[in-house]
Structure 1
């Protein structure tokens, strides 16, 4: 029997079979560490000890990590039949032999992490099941046995918010956290308080990211929880009356349904990863590496995708719905001859057939648009406009391939616009669920929801898109999901099913939709093994780990304007370029969780920060990441912009990185991420806790360090905002080898290489200075063995 010091107990609902099967220790007397009674009255949690030295699991009893009620009675595995059990799978059946619950689990031993999921099936051929409700895919209790007077700290982030006012007004200070997407929040709730977090509009990272790093009272260790559900989830963190126990629960927000004979649904999955170290960044970086290794898409050779650097047609002075194959081929030719290190040509919406104003005048009148055609009117067609692409889209992709570029094309499979257009026969009316009571006539025409809850519909859609992907020679399938999300459509469809069937159906449309969404992605990838799926979803609104195991977010947010800058400058909000302050804030927030993501830059002039070429470079670097898309006028490139873009993409994506031709700086984003240190300010409004000071001011330096221990290389990006104090800034680095010597190269200063001891960089820091709103970029390379 193993006995470890117990500084932090996780009262985790985890099946005993997991540990027994993987050899993680034998069961021991629960009274050794367990209290005589649980602090919470519901659920049947078990105990898992987590060692302060090795962070290993050792179960104390055989409870499970989830809870639900069946006909109002809480699930109890002791009263249900256990039909089968393996190291990864356990099946329970209710006493009436109607409902089966399958519990699957996967251990990632190199991270001491575990993923689990539950699914339900009506195994009867004639009977409807009872009501399945209060489904908590995760039901876990944390216990701090030493009774520290310190509090638990919940680290989480706002999601993709898109809450900019559209009337030119400025928000009040209580809306400060919504200024930037992915704002990090630290919340230390007191005794008896419950923190409730949720997503919105039926998408997993709309409003709140589904990732949480819970620090133990007093720090030094913690556990990261993640929710694997691309729909609407809800979670809670309840602190007991002593302040030593926290109960974490999470699951699909709304579910209370009966299953028809043979019917099945899956619930959200849960990922749990413990960590130990000096601060929460240890947990964040361990989780980034977990995501990279186990929850990132790989090709048929099991390789991660290379960084994506794309030229977008959005910079052309031609509306999307008017672009022709000739326009795009011309742009591709100029991209290839520009000397800019890009590897992809990016075509967004509007390439398909559209409805003109002559075909549907009322639609354009309702939109108050004077144009005679709009890209949004043809969403759902997915046939290249024969007038603009007489040889199909494959002609465009072929030219890109001939010139060494991949071809990216935009789709939005879950939505369909007006049926006035001659859609293919697969659109037979069964596929669309309208929501007449939930939106106006214009909304009904533009935002009809394709019924992803129906597997046969998804199969028909796959057949159509498979044909277009092959004919279009597509390398990257860009998948969007616009509008207010599918949540209201799900509710409307559930209500209809309840009326038609006479049984409870709350949540079943969502569960079926999300299950079929994974089916859709999995089948696309199986049919096109080398194809990447770009996860847009209205800009970063489906960033849960189940989605990211199949897709990558090349466009992390739709918030691209200068909203943050105008707010800080107290100026009217205007149409502008891709705001650099927002870009910096997004990188600082989202990179705490996810390594593979990015944004890019456009060619507009930023009048709020720095005008001209210096502003263009500042904006480019603000949007630099693992991926980037660049919206320039490829038909008529400004010579100075071409020169700067070639230089910047050269070190970021090309062969001109100081780290060597095999190591473009974008590869460093797969490493550990360390933001510059910041103070915290209180959050007011609907988010509770504190956030970094950089969110609401231009009086600071901002930046981050990326370090690849495996390559002994790194990257530092820093930005002096416009009213930061003058003088030299010292950025204290982390994660280096204190005994190693690093060659530090300033990207902007030829011949500036300097050798600095790792211990110095981690104590004195990396010294830098510049004036006004400016940027600095450094590479680091361990030269100790050279």
Structure 2
């Protein structure tokens, strides 16, 4: 038996290139029982599906010899199981605890690691921590495909979906830019498709610089690894650190979207903000006539009187949004036009209300919003601090600096600083009557972490900062049970499983405001993974309005101008509120995974509600060079059932069977640009 096991281990190692040897290989056949999966994967004397190097040795060579403990945790949901698994080295005192959870109704497992030095002296070096280190093996041979996406870079192609076929032995490696989890070069969600009509969706939870690594070993086996990109450190006596988290969801079906839709529903049920036990729907937002005339910018010329007048104007027109959103430029030093050199960007760190424009603080504005039945949300950027600002003067010791820059990073990794900031922002929320909190982050953090690293402890600054960010948000969410957090970060550059559990992006990208082609692409791509996100709306015609619709939306038109009409604004808001619930249902892209950034193509997608077999089809003919017609094949329908379809453009109706709709229907638009919205239900 020992010989057989040794041979098996050798075969597995030989299948993997040096430096990419998986901790374990698991067979995946059929529906996965997560209870059994956890029991088998984290069993005593078995190498778990994570790895690390400690004191120069790979964990697979010693972890089965460490002291092992398994503790079942209590949960309030009978569909959820939780365990704490610990591995402790008696000799050095290093301990790794793994909190692992299983979600039976989604075939999903997730875990996070915590390392602790339980000894009285510095630990040996800990490095190359792969939170996930696993090779999966399927019974049917064939190539694997990887569905993934761009991050956000203020571009038309933000969040664009990509399908990459694997080649045996070729590595596919991903990591974001600059220390923000969905910045530009990568997005922390992946769908692995096997030849078995089955696959695995991965969601990474780390709001810093993570990595994901994939290699197809043979026609049945794929190796996967994820973790924090830059980490090589020792721990002080009694010191602990956490790692990124990993979510792994198994799916089966003919269409990989079975996995993506499972992820969307899993996020809504288990990884979204809950208020009164239900997932919190993010709002239809309205602003205060954004974009003041130069030299003002953002809201740097807004006054309390004008803000209250705008709120009352919304009420007068019967178009009150669910939340009034005050963005950058309300704080001391940011106001113009008489302020010398001050603007919203160069005044962060002055987190006091500008009493010249708001003599009684922002409470009168929030009171006005509440009076008309709305909420009030305020923009902050607490992590970026400008030299000479209030925060810098009060606590210069909490500023992380780099050469030749007047921008500092507030050290959330300092527990005293994190606690102080938490209490400070909480008081701002209370004093100003805020309902929702918007956090931006317009800088790359990586250079600050690297420049201030402790000798021999690469990665500790990043770890402590990310831990501090989570602690800060968790404090606010616990203190204010009805609070929602809007997560911006230069527009959608901090989207991952950990932030998704605490927040949502109401402004998903800083791409050219109101440019509809990009907006369509962003909705098309981000809907693959996340059910909650929003963007702005700047016009009321069908093409523009539908291009901006998502599970959240931000009114960007100026209600004190003649560019829009009151009836059109009322119509768009009524249409949107009727349509919005479908963005939480199953999503199907109808125009493929190619380059959809051009003006000579169609973009179309479907939203399908399983519970009553209703749904919507959005279709956009871009420019005059796009063909007048397109054929789309709908998904999720019952082929034996007839459906009644209504064209929202003209009210015309027609009947098609589910089979006909699956085989394809032709959509036609004489207008370029033009849009079609089909609503369907069972006949």
Q: Select between 52-61 and 186-195 the one with higher mean Cα deviation.
A: 52-61
TM superposition shift of 1:99? 1.4
Counterpart for residue 250 of structure 1: 226
| Equivalent residue in structure 2 for 1:302, among 277, 281, 285 | 277
Offset at residue 743 of structure 1 (A): 3.7
2:452 matches 1:493? yes
C-alpha contact 1:321 1:373 (8 A) present in aligned 2? no
Alpha-carbon distance between aligned partners in 2 of 1:779 and 1:32, rounded to the nearest angstrom:
59
Is contact 1:378–1:417 with CA below 8 Å preserved after alignment?
yes
Q: Secondary structure at the match of 1:553?
A: coil
User: 2:163 aligned with 1:186, yes or no?
Assistant: yes
Residue 604 of structure 2: which of 678, 703, 724 is its match? 703
CA contact (8 A) 2:203 2:497 kept: yes
Question: Helix, strand or coil: the match of 1:315?
Answer: coil
Distance 1:334 1:553 in 2: 27
What is the CA–CA distance in structure 1 between the aligned matches of 2:449 and 2:628, rounded to whole Å? Answer: 56
Match of 1:566 in 2: none
Q: Residues of 1 paired with 2:438 and 2:159: CA distance?
A: 22
Structure 1 residue 182: deviation in Å?
0.7
Greater Cα offset, 733-742 or 771-780 = 733-742
* CA separation of 1:356 and 1:342: change in aligned 2, threshold 3 A: closer
2:514 alignment partner in structure 1: 578
| Matching residue of 1:775 | 675
Contact 1:377 1:418 in 2 (8 A): no
Q: Distance in 1 between matches of 2:200 and 2:106?
A: 12
Report what 2:187 is aligned to: 209
Residues 243-283 of structure 1: CA distance to partner in whole angstroms, max 9, x if unpaired? 44321111100001111112111011111111111121111
- In structure 1, what is the Cα distance between the partners aligned to 2:102 and 2:31? 20
Cα distance between partner residues in 2 of 1:315 and 1:357: 14
Residue 45 (structure 1) aligned with residue 23 (structure 2): yes
CA distance in 2, matches of 1:212, 1:430: 40
What residue is the counterpart of 1:81 in the other structure? 67
Q: Residues 774 and 115 (structure 1 numbering): CA distance in 2 closer, same or farther, change over 3 Å?
A: same
1:158 maps onto 2:150 in alignment: yes
Separation of aligned partners in 2, 1:698 and 1:508? 46
Q: Report Cα offsets for 1:627-656 as digits up to 9, x if no partner.
A: 01121223x142744332321221112xxx
The reply to whether residue 350 of structure 1 matches residue 329 of structure 2 is: yes
Contact 1:219-1:279 at 8 Å conserved across structures: no
The Cα of 1:239 is off from its aligned counterpart by 2.6
Contact 2:182 2:495 in 1 (8 A): yes
User: What residue number does 2:659 align with?
Assistant: 759
1:568-621 CA distances to partner (integer Å, 9 max, x unpaired)?
xxxxxxxxx521111111111111111111212225xxxxxxxxx75xx42221
Unaligned runs of 5+ in 1: 1-28, 165-178, 361-370, 499-503, 562-576, 604-612, 654-663, 679-690
Give the superposition deviation at 1:51. Answer: 2.5
Rounded to whole Å, the distance in 2 between the matches of 1:327 and 1:343 is 19
Counterpart for residue 676 of structure 1: 590
Confirm whether residue 393 of structure 1 aligns to residue 398 of structure 2. Answer: no
CA contact under 8 A between 1:599 and 1:627: conserved in structure 2? yes
**Greater per-residue strand proportion:** 2
- Counterpart of 1:334 (choices 284, 305, 313) is 313
Q: 2: distance between equivalents of 1:633 and 1:294? A: 38
Q: Corresponding residue for 1:515?
A: 467
Whether the aligned pair in 1 keeps the contact of 2:287 and 2:555 (CA below 8 Å) is: yes
1:64 aligns with 2:48: yes
CA contact (8 A) 2:385 2:391 kept: no
Number of matched pairs:
655
Residue 693 of structure 1 deviates from its aligned partner by 3.4
CA shift for structure 1 position 307: 4.2
Q: Match of 2:399?
A: 432
Hey, what does 2:287 align to over in structure 1? 312
Q: Does the C-alpha gap of structure 1 residues 492 and 32 become closer, same or farther in structure 2, counting only changes over 3 Å?
A: closer
Give the counterpart of 1:600 among 536, 552, 559. 536
Q: 1:135-174 residue pairs with structure 2 within 5 A?
A: 135-146=129-140, 148=141, 150-162=142-154
User: What is the TM-score normalised by the length of structure 2?
Assistant: 0.90
Secondary structure of the 1:333 match is: helix
Structure 2 Cα separation of the partners of residues 765 and 282 of structure 1 = 22
Offset, 1:342: 2.4
Structure 1 match to 2:76: none
| 1:417 corresponds to 2:386 | yes
TM-score (norm 1): 0.79
Give the whole-Å Cα distance in 2 for the aligned partners of 1:209 and 1:672: 21
Write the deviation string for residues 70-100 of structure 1: whole angstroms up to 9, x where unpaired: 1111113222112454351111111324211
After superposition, where does 1:468-483 map in structure 2 within 5 Å?
Answer: 468-483=428-443
Flag the 1:73–1:725 CA change in 2: closer, same or farther, 3 A.
Answer: closer
RMSD of aligned C-alpha atoms? 2.6
The answer (yes or no) to whether the contact 2:485–2:504 under 8 Å persists in 1 is yes
- 1:315/1:602 contact within 8 Å kept: no
Tell me the distance in 2 between the aligned counterparts of 1:262 and 1:256: 18
Alpha-carbon distance in structure 1 between the residues aligned to 2:635 and 2:667: 14
Name the structure 2 match of 1:133. 127
- In structure 2, list runs of 5 or more residues that go unmatched: 73-81
Q: 2:534, 2:284 → 1: CA distance?
A: 10
1:207-286 pair list within 5 angstroms: 207-216=185-194, 218=195, 220-240=197-217, 242-286=218-262
